[in-house]
Chain A
Amino acid sequence: MTQIEPQQVADTQVGSAPTFRADPPPSQPPRAGAPGTPPKVVKRPGDRIFEGLSTGSGTLILIILALVAAFLVAQGIPAFTSSVEDLPFGSTLRYVVPLAFGTVWAAFLAMVMGVPVAIAIALFISHFAPRRLAAGLGYVIDLLAAVPSVVYGLWGISVLGPLVQPVYIWLTENLGFIPLFAGPASGTGRTIFTAALVLAVMILPIVTALSREVFLQTPRLHEEAALALGATRWEMIKMAVLPFARPGMISASMLGLGRALGETMAVALVLSPSAIISFALLQSTNPNTIAANIALSFPEAYGLGTNQLIATGLVLFVITLAVNSIARAVINRRKEFSGAN
């Protein structure tokens, strides 16, 4: 807390600093730096309590995050220290590797499909759509974020799966020589590719919203300069908007990645899982994801099995924490350097 010299109080406006003197400054204030008692800052009991409460709540958030990590570690440790014979799912490390692979693979596929579309939508809203419509169109995309994940799962398994299954058969028959499309195609459409499609739809709104914000921050003068030099709209976007927005787009995609990594119910419903590592997209045996596996196995798990599932959750927590921290750090750094206004 900085103390304000009486002179400053006398000749400057009272800022947002809450330093109030009990009595008005005397007509001849003591010179700054002069020996004597420093001016006393009066804090009423109400101030003390309120500041304590709000600081406490802020700190509580840090404590909660630390507790989340601590409890997961505490409950996850037995899964690593117990002997392998006692563990219902076998060695925890062996158990988690295919799941971690499935998590990253599904999220990667979702990113490949979702991010280009999301960035194109953001460009459409920020630079192509009529001004009047732009806000409304943004709201329409935000609606996708409001749909609960279990509804996405229900839609994926009973609408999207049957819809794309004939396409899968065609792909395996005609492009089956590519390892990704190797047959035989799943009979239900409940493949990792369908799950990734659903995930791609689910990350659209967050990536779109954040990219849109960055695109709108592009310095107006850069855009107008490009147009004045005779650039078409697309050339202007390529020269002025995209270079400016690149860090923002990267961090937006990473936040989308974080969401795709942690998404549970949609994957749990859509995927027909098995414990394998496979890159094939269209078969009926697919690698499961960590989150979906927890949701599927937890209700029946007991004893050390629960601990093992919590240990896999810890792995997921660490992965998403790393991805999100990097994304946020990039965003925050950009904020400081941005001379956009």
Chain B
Amino acid sequence: MSTSVATRPAAAATLTAGRLPRWTTGVLLTVCLLASLSFFAAFGTLGLIRILLVAVLLYIVVSVALSAAVEGSRKAKDRLATTLVTSAFGLALLPLISLVVSVVGRGVDRFDGTFFTYSMRSVVGEGGGAVHAITGTLWVTGIATLISVPIGLLAAIYLVEYGRGRLARSITFFVDVMTGIPSIVAGLFAYALFVIIFGPGTKSGLAGAVALSVLMIPVVVRSVEELLKIVPNELREASYALGVPKWLTITKIVLPTALAGIVTGVMLAIARVIGETAPLLIAAGFTQSLNNSPLEGPMMTLPVFVYRSYVDQGNPAAAYVERAWAGALTLVIIVMVLNLAGRLIAARFAPKTGR
């Protein structure tokens, strides 16, 4: 490049005049980083976040000034926007990285065999585990799934295959509104429902499952609805043309085509509700012992275990905090595995729409 510039200056000038070369960004960034690093090193106050922050601010000032001088104000604004938008993305990565590092770093201390084989029954101080909370989470989430999936699936089928007119429109609207219900309100609803049926103060795993269902149904409906919509209409028409009744067309043609996606949707919905704390704190309560009966007595769940361990610290406090972080790590792993598995299934078995 430089040789051609040297030999044919006039031609190059028309194309590259008033433009900063491509390597400007990289060089400027490195210079700013080094400047920031040496500045903080000189004062002996090194810190990753403050170095990055100052480097980015420095880069913004220098690059905009340079660009305004060489390229004009319009290009300078464009550079400013690019830098701001990119650093916004970087800014969002900071909490994510910090979360992962702290959850993994602090969670591994108690992420051991005892944690997964003992409950907290008559455990004071160190030792103990979350078996009661993990079983409770399985019970509550399992029942919530059993309630929500049939209702959500059938409602989605109604919306896509049958729904016309005002009823369908209002269901679509209120499903959307329902996704925004605060989780704690769902918990209060389940509590109020069970209080009216079983008397005051009732807390049980079933009530927790009902609360989670209120949160889970709209998620299932939305995802299944989207999937049924992309099942090609030609498949339905071919089935009708062979004289197959509508209900058999849906159960034998439409649902199997969308099955992988439906499984994904359900897994993502489970991942969404399995970390809910507030509704379970209210509807299912908390306990220190294993409870395998969802119908009677409070039932511990993993998110509530994390919350109670941290809030209700005994002596030594470190043991309780470590258990809370180990619980948080377990929870994050479960959610991530569900998310990942769901997306893998979706990518692997996506229906072929022919387009």
Contact = CB atoms under 8 A, between A and B. Distances in A.
A129 B171 CA distance: 38
Contacts of B92: 117, 121, 141, 144, 201, 204, 208
A150 B88 contact: no
Interface residues of B, number: 101
Contacts of A268: 278
Contact of A124 (B86, B195, B331): B86
A5 interface: no
Nearest to A2: B164
Contacts of A151: 99, 103, 275, 306, 328, 331-332
B163 interface: yes
Contact of A72 (B84, B188, B306, B336): B188
B82 A234 contact: yes
Contacts of A324: 176-177, 179-180
A140 B89 CA distance: 10
B277 to A, nearest CB: 4
B151 interface: yes
B332 A316 contact: no
B288 interface: no
A123 B281 contact: no
B185 A154 contact: no
B171 A62 contact: yes
Contact of A46 (B192, B248, B271, B328): B248
Interface stretch (A12-20, A85-93, A188-196, A276-284): A12-20
B139 interface: no
Interface in A7-38: 13-16, 18, 20
Interface in B51-68: none
- What is the interface of chain A mostly: helix, strand, loop, or mixed? helix
A255 B178 CA distance: 12
A213 interface: no
Interface range on chain A: under 10, 10 to 19, 20 to 34, or 35 or more?
Answer: 35 or more
Interface in A238-266: 255, 258-259, 261-265
Interface in B202-246: 214, 217-218, 221, 233, 236-237, 240-241, 243, 245-246
A316 B310 contact: no
Given A51-B247, A235-B74, A332-B173, A61 B151 contact: yes
Interchain residue pairs A-B with the least CB separation, the first 8: A262-B182, A148-B275, A120-B88, A57-B154, A50-B247, A324-B180, A18-B246, A264-B278
Given A121-B85, A159-B98, A320-B181, 6 more contacts: A47-B247, A54-B155, A59-B171, A124-B85, A147-B335, A262-B180
12 contacts: A61-B178, A148-B274, A149-B276, A150-B307, A154-B324, A155-B103, A265-B278, A269-B311, A291-B182, A291-B184, A294-B278, A295-B278
Interface of A: 13-16, 18, 20, 44, 46-47, 49-51, 53-62, 64-65, 67-68, 71-72, 74-75, 116-117, 120-121, 123-125, 128-129, 137, 139-141, 143-144, 146-155, 157-160, 201, 204, 208, 232-235, 237, 255, 258-259, 261-265, 268-269, 291, 294-295, 298-299, 302-303, 306, 309-310, 313, 316-317, 320-321, 323-325, 327-328, 332
